[in-house]
DNA sequence: GAGCATACCAAGCAAATGCTTGGTAGGGTG
DNA sequence: CACCCTACCAAGCATTTGCTTGGTATGCTC
């Protein structure tokens, strides 16, 4: 038990704070933010609930820290894609792939975002969630519109509806995708991109 | 106040029990099952929380009644589609349309199912949720496999992945669809079917 | 008008929950 | 050794939550 109370002087591993955040993220993802008690988190960490308040101000500040860190990483990748000189189809594919990679690397964070962003967003403290949501919409809409303009995507697409279709389809996969099973996130991204772009029907059998 | 405590002898309108269930469904859909308190429901109904227990055994029995009624209606429609003599593509389209119609007519029930089925399913009382989930999977997989067999759908489809793609894409729409706005549920179903079957790319521009 | 059913109130209880307070143990540093 | 920092415990408080209990008002029915 002495190891648990010993700080990490070498700085090699994650700090105790980061360890606790990872544990909290898992709990939040599994049960939702409001349904996770500070005692749940503390139990999972092997300490008492009161001890969490040595590291964090509140339960809210824990999710806050979790979400902000994740979003900064994700949107950094989106920005890089937008700034690249590739054609619209390649950029769209890249954005889908980056998203599935995020599900693979940060499943808890994505799940929290999917399940609790709506509820958390109603508090002033989490107003940035709405901003990030708008930013995400901007990324996808930009890519879709560029695709239509350059003749890569069908001109009769409802851009907003298509945006929702892509967004929902990609992120909702966090509900069933589990790393390390038969299909890798790259496999899934491949097939999703294929369905999204070309549909599931046999080519040339399109109805009018 | 006397009207509220007067039963409906004609049998024309919904019973008080049904009224309260509708109010509960809305609350559950908005805030989730566990995050909705019996006082929330009672407040929305204009009564005290204890009075709810004149009508229902528990908070759980309320969701139970809500979910069972909804599922019976939905799966009755799926069964009718499966039993019809239409071709695979028509049946697949019909199933998608019926699902969007369910979102339109019973948004609260669908939302509860989407958000809380996982959590509720861990209790023995709600074991039927897993059964219904399996039943739903069976419906879609049957339709997809028939489509592949009859040459309507691409033979290289991963059936399971395609099933998840369709299921997620359809039901997650409950998150943003609001009845009575610009797009009707029929409009949305049309476009979703089109994207699903033929993709968003311009025909003949398929890569690979 | 006596009996009964429906719909509700008023009050409260036991458990759970977020958070606080005061204290302890152990290691590093001067 | 004195001092301080990190990490934690022990105990508990105020509030919230699901649910219970005993009672009241209203209208229907015979």
B181 touches chain A (CB under 8 A): no
Question: Which residues from B are below 8 Å from A207, CB to CB?
Answer: 89
**Which among B65, B34, B173, B163 is positioned nearest to B111, based on CA atoms?**
B173
**What protein residues sit with their CB closer than 7 Å to strand D?**
A 4-5, 7, 15-17, 20, 42, 46-51, 54-55; B 2, 5-6, 9, 34, 36-39, 49-50, 53, 57-60
Q: What is the pLDDT of residue A184?
A: 95
Q: What is the pLDDT of residue B91?
A: 96
Predicted confidence pLDDT, tens digits, chain B (208 residues):
333 334 444 445 678 899 999 999 999 999 999 999 999 999 999 999 989 999 999 999 999 999 999 999 999 999 999 999 999 999 999 999 999 999 999 999 999 999 999 999 999 999 999 999 999 999 999 999 999 999 999 999 999 999 999 999 999 999 999 988 889 999 999 999 999 999 777 775 555 4
**Which among A187, A185, A20 is positioned nearest to A106, based on CA atoms?**
A185
Chain A: nearest CA to B9, how far in angstroms? Answer: 41
> Measured from the CB, is B44 under 7 Å from any atom of strand C?
no
3-state secondary structure of A14: coil
Our measurement of the distance from residue A199's CA atom to the centroid of its chain's CA atoms, rounded to an integer in Å, reads 25
**Interface touch A169/B169, C-beta < 8 Å:** yes
**Interface touch A199/B199, C-beta < 8 Å:** yes
Which domains are delineated in chain A? Answer: 58-198 (1.10.357.10)
Contacting B residues, span 56-85, partner chain A, CB-CB under 8 Å: none
> Measured from the CB, is B89 under 7 Å from any atom of strand C?
no
User: For chain A, what's the residue count?
Assistant: 208
Q: What is the pLDDT of residue B151?
A: 94
3-state secondary structure of B206: coil
Separate counts of helices (H) and strands (E) for chain A: 8, 0
Token pair for B24: 């509960």
Q: What is the pLDDT of residue A205?
A: 53
Token pair for A109: 């964070």
Q: What is the pLDDT of residue B10?
A: 46
**Interface touch A200/B35, C-beta < 8 Å:** no
Element (H, E) at A158: none
* pLDDT under 50: residue ranges of chain A: 1-12, 208
Q: What is the pLDDT of residue B5?
A: 39
Chain B: nearest CA to A199, how far in angstroms? Answer: 4
């Amino acid at each position: 038990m002495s190891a648990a109370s010993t700080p990490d002087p070498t700085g090699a591993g994650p700090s105790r704070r980061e360890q606790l955040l990872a544990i909290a993220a898992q709990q939040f993802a599994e049960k939702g933010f409001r349904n996770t008690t500070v005692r749940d988190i503390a139990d999972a960490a092997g300490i008492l609930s009161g001890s969490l308040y040595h590291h964090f101000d509140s339960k809210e500040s824990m999710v806050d820290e979790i979400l902000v860190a994740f979003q900064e990483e994700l949107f950094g990748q989106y920005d890089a894609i937008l700034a690249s000189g590739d054609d619209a189809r390649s950029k769209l594919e890249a954005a889908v792939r980056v998203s599935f990679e995020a599900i693979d690397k940060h499943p808890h964070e994505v799940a929290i975002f999917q399940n609790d962003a709506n509820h958390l967003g109603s508090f002033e403290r989490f107003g940035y969630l709405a901003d990030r949501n708008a930013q995400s919409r901007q990324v996808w809409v930009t890519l879709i519109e560029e695709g239509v303009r350059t003749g890569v995507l069908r001109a009769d697409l409802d851009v907003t509806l298509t945006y929702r279709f892509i967004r929902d389809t990609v992120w909702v996969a966090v509900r069933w995708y589990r790393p390390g099973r038969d299909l890798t996130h790259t496999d899934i991204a491949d097939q999703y991109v294929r369905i999204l772009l070309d549909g599931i029907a046999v080519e040339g059998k399109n109805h009018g």
